[in-house]
Structure 1
Amino acid sequence: KKISLHSKLMVLSLLVINGLGVLAMMLYEWVSNLGSLKDESFFSALHIVFFQVVTTRTAGFQTIDLTTMVPLSIGLMMVLMYIGAGSASTGSGIKVTTAAVILKNVWTYLRGQRETVLMRRTVQTQAIQKAYAIAVFSLLFIALITTFLALTQPNISFIGLFFETVSAFGTVGLSLNVTAELNSFGKFLIMFMMLLGRVGSLTILFTFATQRDRTIRYPKENMLIG
């Protein structure tokens, strides 16, 4: 009972995110006949997969050549790097608590409930809005930087550039062997993404935008969504 909500989410994420990640990657790389670990024993493949899933949180080490992995595993690693580590840690990404608040808020909306509750604690509206803002602006920055890289690095595959951008955003350090092929402008973009991921997209945006509440209130009106 003395453990805070944040600490509980960190412990739960260690079990859920890493557990689901290991299960999915084992299916892609070991069970699948197309996987790079199909010739490994179960425990050897499990060891390699567990290491690669955990290292996407911010470590950046690798025990196998990532270019030999199936596209599904590469996509899974990008999702894990996008989520990143925990808030107040030295890791980057949108953070585990951000993803947890968004998923729980979506589930709350689908069930027709008014308040978003995590572990018997109501999440404040401001925290929910901040979580969505972080997720959306982070995706926009990733899409923007990936587009610039694709335009200025035509000799490199788009998947490699996309993976490189997400890895830089999560300050992970994993790569599909394209880092050395980037020109000076491409390396500058990757360094910017590393700074953005570590400092935070909202912090970068707040340096250019002034925060102030409206002095005039306008009438409310419903609109079609979705």
Structure 2
Amino acid sequence: MRSKLFYRMDPPKVLVFGFGAIILLGTLLLSLPASTVDGKGLPILDALFTATSATCVTGLVVVDTGDTFTRFGEMVILSMIQVGGLGFMSFATLLAFILGKRISFKERLIIQESLNNETVEGIVRLVKRIFLFTAVIEITGGIILTLRFSQDMAAGKAIYFGFFHAVSNFNNAGFDLMGGFKGLTAYAEDPIVNITMITLISLGGIGFIVMNELFDYRKTRRLSLHSKIVLALSAILVFGGALLIFILEFNNPSTLKPMTLTGKIFGAFYQAVTPRTAGSNTLNIPDLKQSTLFLIIFLMFIGASPGSTGGGIKTTTFAVLIGAVKSQIRGREDVTFFGRRMDHTIISKSLTVTLISLFLIGLVTMVLTITEPGKEFLMIFFETVSAFSTVGLSMGLTPELSLYGKILITITMFAGRVGPLTLAYAIAKKRKEDHYRYPAGKVMIG
């Protein structure tokens, strides 16, 4: 019966229901007495919020992770981060490999949808590579962080902290165990922690498709148009964002001013990388200037790249929109990148994703101004974009959310993780291809 239901559902519906099932299981486990230090378990709404944040690799929290949960509760969160970051279908495929089962065409379609891959061809090989990349990167990051943390804590705790933060940041989740909602502010000027975390976040954010092509580059000597756009725009956003944050915060006594020049550079770069949907921070977010906060909102909205562990509208979507505007201003019909023309369906899809995202963010922000009276608009707007883009950076609003605010942010995180277009496809009636076209009409624009 379940098998028949699975095969009747479109890939978007399978993804929505799959993520929903993982969140419900996580909610149940986090509400158990064994999950919290006080032995009472999390209240059901807080458990739902935390499970959604972990599965959707967001990092927004209503209770501090390091102070609230037992090792069991933290491992539940870490498991949901890993499954949510790589996608439950990737894990289902891994299980099928272990059991020696064949991957059906329907399952390949669902994996393709979850990874935003262009084609089904080579999808199983890509999933194998994903687990190889993930294991190598997380283990390497975990070892480096363990060696650094061992200077500040006992060996066993250093190992646990090292690997927890490696998994959390590679999957762009942003959960930390430092306690007191402090994040990684104690390591703001530490070169090892900064470089390791920035590398983990960046690798998780460029996407497995790009990672796979870079891995094969020595053999193929070529990169696809997708990879070229992702790498070029990611570099522009990170270096441009870091430069702007460095300039804006240079004389801020609450952030960069007291630091050494090296510390300032690390602080600027970390805060430019983490809005790519990682959510961990080395500077105290509420202390940043309003101009910097608005810049971070912009970076969060763009987010990571397709097929990655991150959210946002994605770098390629933003690039296509910029390309369309540039072509329109120049009076050209085609949108081109690196000598290749963009298909008009890609431009339409980019516009659709962006407009749905803006509408959802605007709607949630407006409702939160009603449910959270007395809170600053920028704080509400920041938290909404952070939730939708599955970033996890916070100005401090999340722990103070009302009942309705928690429900609304939970829904926003879920919508951001599965993707606004995937969610729309899952809710809408079965898509049908039109076999006719209406006569062309004209309207005045601008």
Normalising by structure 1, we get a TM-score of 0.94
**C-alpha distance in 2, partners of 1:170/1:33?**
27
Aligned to 1:63: 282
**C-alpha distance in 2, partners of 1:28/1:181?**
28
Question: Is the CA contact 1:164–1:174 (under 8 Å) kept in the aligned structure 2?
Answer: yes
Q: Is 1:91 aligned with 2:304?
A: no
Aligned to 1:40: 259
Aligned to 2:225: 5
Aligned to 2:172: none
The verdict on how the C-alpha distance between 1:106 and 1:46 changes in structure 2, with shifts beyond 3 A counting, is same
Partner SS for 2:313: coil
Aligned to 2:237: 17
Find the partner of 1:133 among 348, 352, 360: 352
Structure 2: segments with no counterpart, 5+ residues:
1-220
Find the partner of 1:212 among 402, 426, 432: 432
**C-alpha distance in 1, partners of 2:253/2:377?**
22
**C-alpha distance in 1, partners of 2:441/2:305?**
38
**C-alpha distance in 2, partners of 1:34/1:109?**
44
Deviations, residues 70-122 of structure 1 (Å, cap 9, x unaligned): 10100010111100100011110000000001101110111111111111111
Q: Is 1:184 aligned with 2:395?
A: no
Structure 1: segments with no counterpart, 5+ residues:
none
**C-alpha distance in 1, partners of 2:264/2:275?**
17
Find the partner of 2:298 among 79, 102, 122: 79
More helix, by proportion: 2
Larger Rg: 2
**C-alpha distance in 2, partners of 1:46/1:195?**
34
Question: Is the CA contact 1:92–1:198 (under 8 Å) kept in the aligned structure 2?
Answer: yes
| RMSD, aligned CA | 1.7
Offset at residue 14 of structure 1 (A)? 2.6
Aligned to 1:161: 380
Question: Is the CA contact 1:105–1:116 (under 8 Å) kept in the aligned structure 2?
Answer: yes
Find the partner of 2:361 among 142, 155, 171: 142
**C-alpha distance in 2, partners of 1:63/1:189?**
28
**C-alpha distance in 2, partners of 1:122/1:129?**
14
The verdict on how the C-alpha distance between 1:34 and 1:109 changes in structure 2, with shifts beyond 3 A counting, is farther
Offset at residue 33 of structure 1 (A)? 6.2
Deviations, residues 183-216 of structure 1 (Å, cap 9, x unaligned): 1211111111111111111112222333334455
**C-alpha distance in 2, partners of 1:62/1:51?**
7
Q: 1:83 is matched by which residue type in structure 2? A: I
**C-alpha distance in 2, partners of 1:122/1:35?**
47
Partner SS for 1:73: helix
Aligned to 1:224: 444
Question: Is the CA contact 1:34–1:70 (under 8 Å) kept in the aligned structure 2?
Answer: no
The verdict on how the C-alpha distance between 1:215 and 1:9 changes in structure 2, with shifts beyond 3 A counting, is closer
Aligned to 2:42: none
Question: Is the CA contact 2:234–2:315 (under 8 Å) kept in the aligned structure 1?
Answer: no
Taking only the aligned residue pairs, the percentage that are identical comes to: 37
Normalising by structure 2, we get a TM-score of 0.49
Question: Is the CA contact 1:35–1:70 (under 8 Å) kept in the aligned structure 2?
Answer: no
Q: 1:212 is matched by which residue type in structure 2? A: K
Question: Is the CA contact 1:22–1:49 (under 8 Å) kept in the aligned structure 2?
Answer: yes
Question: Is the CA contact 1:165–1:193 (under 8 Å) kept in the aligned structure 2?
Answer: yes
Q: Is 1:26 aligned with 2:246?
A: yes
Partner SS for 1:223: coil
Find the partner of 2:370 among 146, 151, 166: 151
Question: Is the CA contact 1:104–1:117 (under 8 Å) kept in the aligned structure 2?
Answer: yes
Question: Is the CA contact 1:28–1:35 (under 8 Å) kept in the aligned structure 2?
Answer: no
Question: Is the CA contact 1:58–1:173 (under 8 Å) kept in the aligned structure 2?
Answer: yes
